[in-house]
A and B are shown apart, each in its own frame.
Chain A
Amino acid sequence: MFREAAFNDFQRDSTLDGTSAGFVMDEETFRAFYERSARGLWAYLARLTGDRQLAEDLLQETFYRFLRASAVYDNETHRRNSLYRIATNLARDVRRRNMARGFSVSAGDDIERVPSGQDAGTTERMTDFTLAMSRLKPRERAMLWLAYAEGASHQEIADVLGLRTASLKAMLFRARRKLAALLGRAPQGSKP
């Protein structure tokens, strides 16, 4: 209630002064970009961290840093890659901090709190997938998600994860093998 009231007050104030706290992006552009990318980014962060609440916190922090960066982007892909790079770095920092404190969250500890309306088949399928994902390294999860959920190119994935494109291909191949095996597909020869 308080937040709602404060939000309405702010709306009035901002229409009066018309400022945007020094961000390069205006509110309308930001909101449109947010609507297009927030759900996908949340899913990425939730899979990467295994924690829904943490994913939401990181999502807000990511968008804040994205706005503060005040960079000018050539196109939507460039803008989206920048967003995912910030998110990946934040998730990595959180993981390192948690490891330094002596505790860690495996990817999936919190994800499987599914809504009650979810059917049993969906829940079971998600649990299997979550379990398989949780056995991958965070970087493997990130690259597989970017490649197959976000449809990013090798160059884009390398850019987001801070890797060389040449190394990425081999790493992606190994991660794919590992996940396929974890999902129960019998390993085959890799000869095309």
Chain B
Amino acid sequence: MTAPDDVDLDRVWTSVAAEVWRRHPSRLERTATRLLRSPGLARALLTTPSLLFPWLIASAVILAIGALAQVGANQPLVGLLAPVVAAVGIAYAYGPGIDPAWELACSCAVSDRLVLLTRSVAVFAVNAALGLAASATTLGTRAETHTAQLTFGWLLPMTAVCALTLAVAVAFRSAAVGAGAGVAAWIVVVLARGAFTAAPGTSSTAASLATAVTDANLYLPYLAAAVLCAAVVYYATRPQRGIQ
């Protein structure tokens, strides 16, 4: 039996193959497509390394341990850990060495700058949610007067640390360098504030370290640092720079 002359079998086969091989996007991907109005951007978002399930589990475990320590030992660890966990996630969201096909993605119509922004915002939001959940589990277990700051105050330092991490990562084109800079900067700030505020009669070392997230005087410098680092990211990702 042969096909009629006017039937293009190659075309028919391609149509069949297209249906057989068609990928059905998940509900999450369909929602992201609607929100971002770009199937490509939505797909790029869902391939973010630091939003993959194992990474999220690892982040949640670290924050859960922090929450347990906070409950058990009355040490405000969630606020100190959350900025670091988020910063590392941001560093590993997108870039050379992180995305295997980064060079190719840079040649595509969906802007790599937009992919970076979308992934970074998503990683930040997810980590903020994880941090808030971890903080929520510790509510009512402390005697400090800084409950609100300890619960929400770390969001601003987290923003600054994440912005610094991202700025260094894109400037040096290295996730490891960015993550290292963010973590190191946060440790320096926490230790410096701890040393500055520690005084005889301080209830605990961790409590004095926690002033890095409870001291309202630091909020403006955190905000300024975040804005400055955002400007660096904007400059470092300009198309004129290209890939090297």
Chain A complexes with chain B = no
The residues of B with any CB-CB pair to A shorter than 8 Å are none
Residues of chain A having any CB pair with chain B under 8 Å: none
